[in-house]
A and B are shown apart, each in its own frame.
Chain A
Amino acid sequence: MIYRISHVTEYQYSEPVTLAHHLAHLSPRDTDNQIFRRHRLDVFPSPAVAHDRIDAFGNRGSVFIVQEPHRCLTVKANSEVEVLPVPAFEPLLSPSWEQVRDGLPEDLSQQGLSVYQYIFDTALVKCSRELAEYAASSFPADRPLLDGVMDLSHRIFSDFVFDPAATTVSTPLSEVLASRRGVCQDFAHLEIGCLRSLGLAARYVSGYIETEPLPGQVKLHGCDASHAWVSVYCPGQGWVDFDPTNDQQVSGQHITLAWGRDFGDVSPLRGVILGGGQHSLSVGVTVTQVPQQFDQAGNSNGNGFQQMSAQQQQQ
C-alpha cells in the first residue's frame, strides 16, 4: 500500500522571532516493512541554512535556521511511502522473556549493541519498581516474550483512559501510572518503561496511522494525527511493533517516521527561538492512500515532489 502524508505545522507568534533553530523528524524512514519513496520539506520563511542528516538511530532528520524576523513559521512535510504487509508471527513460539533478557548484554555484535542501547533510562522514561510491578502479571516465569508483550499492551489499553487533557509532554510516568490517563505518547512511554524495568529492550516509534471516515462521510483534510507506539526486540524476529493505544499489532496502516529511546529523540519538530512573545501552534496531518496506477502516472508527470536532499542542500 502506498501512502501520501501531508504534515503541516504552523507557529503563530505575538512578537517577531528574530532567530529560530529547528530540528525536524518529519521524514519517513526505511524499515523492514516500509519503503521510503519521497519526502519534501518546505519552510516559510525560507531558512538561511538547512541540512539533512541521518541520526544515530538511522532516522532522517533536518536541521534548519530561520534568520529573518517572522511572526509565523510554517513547516510543510509531504512524504510518500510504501507499506508492505507485516508478516504474521506466532507469539507462543518466541523465546521466553528471561532468556531474551539474559541474552541482551551478551551480544556484542554491531546489531547487539544497537539493541542493547534501548534498555537504559532516558530523560522521559525512568525505570522503577512500580513499572516492574505493573508489568509483572504479564510476565510470569517462562512466558514467551511476545505473548507477554501482547498481554501487556492489552492491559494498558484496558486499564488506561485516553485523555488528551490529562498530560503534557513533561508529565512523569509515575503520574501517568497513578492517574491511568494519557495519550498515545504516554502509553508508549509507559509500555517502554515496563519492558525496560524488566530488563528488555524497547524503543519508541513515531509515525502516523491511517484513519477511515465514518460510513457515508468524506474524509476531511487534516483530520489525521501523529501517532506513537512501541517496538520490542525479540531474537529471531527482530523488532516487533505493538500499539497499546489501539490494542493492536502494528498493521499495514501504521506509517513509521522515526524511532528512538523516547519522544525526545524523535520529536517531530523542536526549536529554540529568540523573541516571539506568546505563541500558538496548529498541526494538520492528512494520510491518503495512493492507488498504484494513478501514482505511476502522477510520478511520470513530475507532480511537484522532489527529493528534499536535492532541494535543500546548503543554500
Chain B
Amino acid sequence: MTDTLVEAPVAGTQKSFEEGRAGVKAYNEMWSAPHAPRPHWDRFVCGMEGVGLTEISRRWEAAARLIRQQGMTYNVYGDPHGMDREWQLDPIPFIIDSAEWKKISEALIQRATLLNHILQDLYGPQKLLREGFFPSALVLGHPNFLRPCAGVPVAGNTYLHVYAADLARSPDGQWWVVNDRTQAPSGMGYALENRMVVLRMLSEMFRDCEVKRLHGFFTVLRETIERQAPHGKENPRVVLLTPGPYNETYYEHVYLARYLGYTLVEGGDLTVRDNRVYLKALGGLQQVDVILRRLDEDFCDPLELRSDSTLGVAGLLQAVAAGHVSVVNPLGSGLIEIPALRAFLSPLCRHLLGEDLKMPSVATWWCGHKQAFDYVRDHLDQLTVRPTFGPERSGPFVHAMLSAPEKAALLERMRFRPHDFTGHEQVAMSLAPTLANGKLEYRPAVVRVFLVARDGGYHVMPGGLTRVAAAGGQGMVSMQHGDVSKDTWVLGGNAAEEIAARAQIASLELRRGGNDLASRVADNLFWLGRYTERCESGVRLLRTVLLQLTDESSLRCSPALERLVAAPYAMGLTSVCPGDLCLAGELERVQADLLESVFATGRPMGLRETFGRVHWIASSLRDRISPDVWRIVNHLEREIFPAAASSAPQPGEGIVLLNSIVTILAAFNGMEMENMVRGMGWRFLDVGRRLERAVFMLNLLRKTVTTAHEDDASLLEALLDVADCSMSYRSRYFGPAHLPGVLDLLLLDEENPRSIAYQFAVILSHLDFLPREQEDHLPSQAKKIVLAGLANMRLADVEALSKPDENHFRSALDQLLDVLVRGLPPFSDNLTLRYFSHSVAARELNSIAVQIQS
C-alpha cells in the first residue's frame, strides 16, 4: 500500500497548461521531491500511510452515503440531470501551514479593504474615474452599475461585508488571486459541510494535524450581519433571500439559513409597504431588518432594476434608501466582480492605501486600452479572453484553443467593441493530491477563501473551499463542470483560541409559536401533506389489488374482484379500463397495466410522478423539515425507486416495492407525528394529509360499495385491507365482513384514524388554531363545510345506508358520499384563498403610450 503513496507525483492530468507553458512544471502541493513530503504535510502523510489508502477508500464509500443522506447537492445549469447533483468531495484535504496562512490572510484583508474603498468611491464621488485610476468605461458601461444606488448611503459605509477570493499557486510557489467574489459569494456553507464530513471520516488525522476550526468565523459572520440592522435594533429579523430551488447552490442556502438561524425566503415571500420590507407570514406581515442575499443584485427590485425579474422584491431599493432595511452585501457591490478590475488593482492599492498589493492578481488586460488590446491580439494563443461584463456562466469562456475561423470571428468582435473584452493569463495551477481509484492523482487546485467585515477590518475564515479539476477537465476549475471539492486545513489550531471564540456567542431571545411561517411555506407544507398521503393511499390500494389479482385462492372473475380492480382506474391511478376479467388475456392486461403504474416514470398520475412531487416540495422545504425526514424522502427517491427498476417486473417485485414504500411512508408519518412542533406548519401539513385521506376513502367507497352484490364479503375484506383496518374489524366482529360493520368503521367511527369522520374531526380541530379563525367571530366558509360534513356523518344511520333498493343501489349511501366529496374542493380553495393567497407572484406593468403622428 505504501508503495502507491510514495510514488513520484505524476505530472498532472491537465495537459492544457503543460502545453500552454512548455517547460514549466506545476507546483506539487504535497511533495517537494519524490519520497519527500513538504514539512506541513508530514503528519498527514504519516497518518495516511498508517491508515492506508484502501481503508480511506472504504471510508469514502461511507462518506458518499453520508453526503447522499444529508442531501448535499449542487445544481448544474443546462443539464437535464443536473438538478440535485450529488456533491463531490475528495478525502485528501488541502493543507496550508500557519505561517503561510498568515501571509495569505494579511494579503486578503488588504484586498478586501481596498475593494471596499473602491466601491465607496464608485458609488460616491467617483474621484477614481476623474483622476484616471479606474477606466470610466468599466463603471459607466457596466450593465450592473446600479445608478439608483449611487449616492445612497449604506450601513457603516461598508459595501463588502462578505468577500471571497479564489487563489491559485504558480510553479514558483507564489499565490495569485484568480477571481474576486464581491456580490454574494457562495461556498462557505459547502466548506463547513466538507469539514463536517472529513472530520467524521478522518478523525485521527484531523486531530493529529491540529487543524484550525471554522466555527468562530460563522459566529463573527452572524454578528456582522445582525449589526447591520437599522437603528442598531437588537435581535433583528434576518432573512436569507434565495432565488429558489433551481439555483446552483440552493442546498447551501438552506444549510446556511439553518446554521445561522435565519428564515429562508424567496422574493415572493417579501413585500414592501410603507417603504419597509415585510415577510408575508401566516400571522400577518412581519418586518424584516436585514436581508442576507444570495440573489444577484440586478434581480432584486423589478421596479427599479431588471423589470423582467420575478425573483426580487418591488420597492426594495426605496426601502433601503429610506433606511428601513439593510442588505448584505449591499446592492451594487457586484460592480467590481469583473476580471478587468485586476488590471488596475496595483496602482489603485498604492493610491488608496499607500502600500503595495500584497498578493498579485493573475495578469489581466482590459482591451478598452489600445496597448492592452494590441497585446491580447498578439498573444491570443496564450491567453483566455472573456466578455468584460458577461456573467461567468453565460460565457463563452473564449479559449485560446479556437479554430482559425473562430479566432478570426473573435478578433472581429474585439475590434468592433474592444472594451467588451478582457484577456488574462492562464495560471499553471499547483497540483493537489486527490484520491481516484484507490490511488493518488495530482490535479490543478483553486482555493476559495472567505472574509467577513468586522470592526472596520476583516476576519478571515481559517480554511476554505478547495476545488480540483475533474479528470480530463479543461484546465478550468468550476463546480459547474463537475469538479471535485476538498476540505481545506489550516494548521496551528489550538484549544485556547477556540474557547475564546466560543465565549462570544450572543445571548438569545426566547421565542415560541410559529406565526412567522411564510405563506408560501405553509402552502408547500399543505401540499406536502396532500401528496404524501396521495402516495400512501395509492400504494395501499395498488398493493391490495395486486395481491387479490394474484391470490391462489381467489376466483378469476368474480364481480367483487372486478369492482376492486376498477377502483384504481376510476381514481386515476391506472390507465387501462378493465373489461370483463373472464375474457382471455384481460386479467394479464390489467395486471401489466397495474405494474406499469407502479414502476413506470413519466405517467402523470403514476406513483413515481406523485412521489416526484413529494420529493420536489420537500426539497423546497429543506429549511423547514428535519434532516431525518429529508433522509427518508431522499432514500425513497434515490435508492428504493432506482433499485426497483426492472424491464419486465413480476407481481412479486411490485409487492416488494409497495411494501417497502408503505414502510418508508410510515416512517415519514411517524416523524411528522412525533417530532414536529405543533405549530402552524404542522397543522397545515396535517390538514393536507387529512383532506387527501378523506378524498381517497370517499372515492373508494363510492366506486365499490354503492351497488350491492352477493359476494360483497371478499370485496369488503379487501377494503379493510386497503384501510389497514382488518385487525380492528376482527376485534369487533366474527365471521365474514358485512357492510354495516365496515361502513361504521371506515366512514363514521371517529375513533378510527382511518375513518372519514375522523379526518373531518381532526381538520375541524386544526381550523380552530389557525390565525384568522381565532380572530373572526363567525366560522369561515371552510369551517362551515367541515362542520356540515361532520354533522351529516354523525346523524347518519348505518343500517339505512347499507340497505340496497330494488335495483341493488344504495342511494342513501351514495347521496351521503356525494355530498361529502363535493364539499372538499371548495374547502381546499377557501383555505388557499384565506392563507396562501399572498404567495401569488407580482408582475410587471409598463405603460407604453407611444403613438405619434408623422
Contacts and interface: CB of A to CB of B under 8 A. Distances in A.
A113 B139 CA distance: 10
15 contacts: A18-B838, A23-B304, A57-B147, A65-B273, A65-B275, A105-B136, A108-B131, A113-B129, A120-B140, A127-B416, A169-B848, A183-B850, A272-B303, A272-B842, A272-B843
Residue among A22, A132, A209 with most chain B CB within 10 A: A22
B271 interface: yes
Contacts of A56: 147-148, 150
B850 A228 contact: yes
A183 B851 contact: yes
A22 B147 CA distance: 18
Contacts of A113: 126, 129-130, 136, 140
A184 B129 contact: no
Interface string A255-289: 00000000010011111111110010101010000
B835 to A, nearest CB: 15
Residue among A63, A164, A227 with most chain B CB within 10 A: A63
Given A63-B318, A121-B141, A273 B852 contact: no
Contact of A273 (B140, B150, B845): B845
B274 A48 contact: yes
B678 to A, nearest CB: 31
B130 A108 contact: yes
Contact of B852 (A57, A120, A162): A162
Interface in B686-705: none
A226 interface: yes
Contacts of B140: 113, 116-117, 120
A27 to B, nearest CB: 15
B648 interface: no
B405 interface: no
A227 B852 contact: yes
Contacts of B318: 51, 63
B137 interface: yes
A305 interface: no
Given A9-B849, A225-B850, A65 B272 contact: yes
Q: How large is the interface on A (under 10, 10 to 19, 20 to 34, 35 or more residues)?
A: 35 or more
B273 A225 contact: no
A127 B420 CA distance: 11
Contact of A48 (B141, B273, B302): B273
B132 interface: yes
A251 interface: no
Contacts of B303: 21-23, 63, 270-272
B394 interface: no
A164 B851 contact: yes
B7 interface: no
A290 interface: no
Contact of A225 (B271, B843, B851): B851
A19 interface: yes
Nearest to A48: B274
Contacts of A209: 852
Residue among A117, A120, A183, A209 with most chain B CB within 10 A: A120
A108 B131 CA distance: 7
A273 B849 contact: no
Interface in A299-313: none
Contacts, number: 143
B731 interface: no
Q: Is the interface of A mostly helix, strand, loop or mixed?
A: mixed
A204 to B, nearest CB: 12
Interface in A25-50: 48-49
A43 to B, nearest CB: 13
B117 to A, nearest CB: 19
Contact of B849 (A119, A120, A268): A268
A279 B850 CA distance: 18
Nearest to A264: B307
A65 B143 CA distance: 27
Contacts of A19: 271, 273, 842
A58 to B, nearest CB: 11
A209 B131 CA distance: 41
B147 A55 contact: yes
A185 interface: yes
B844 interface: yes
A22 B847 CA distance: 11
A185 B848 CA distance: 10
B417 interface: yes
Contact of B314 (A57, A132, A272, A279): A272
Nearest to B369: A105
Contacts of B132: 108
B203 interface: no
Nearest to A160: B854
A11 B845 contact: yes
A272 B300 CA distance: 13
B145 to A, nearest CB: 9
B322 to A, nearest CB: 8
Nearest to B419: A120
Residue among B132, B271, B842 with most chain A CB within 10 A: B842
A168 interface: yes
Nearest to B309: A272
A296 interface: no
Interface string A169-188: 10000000000000111000
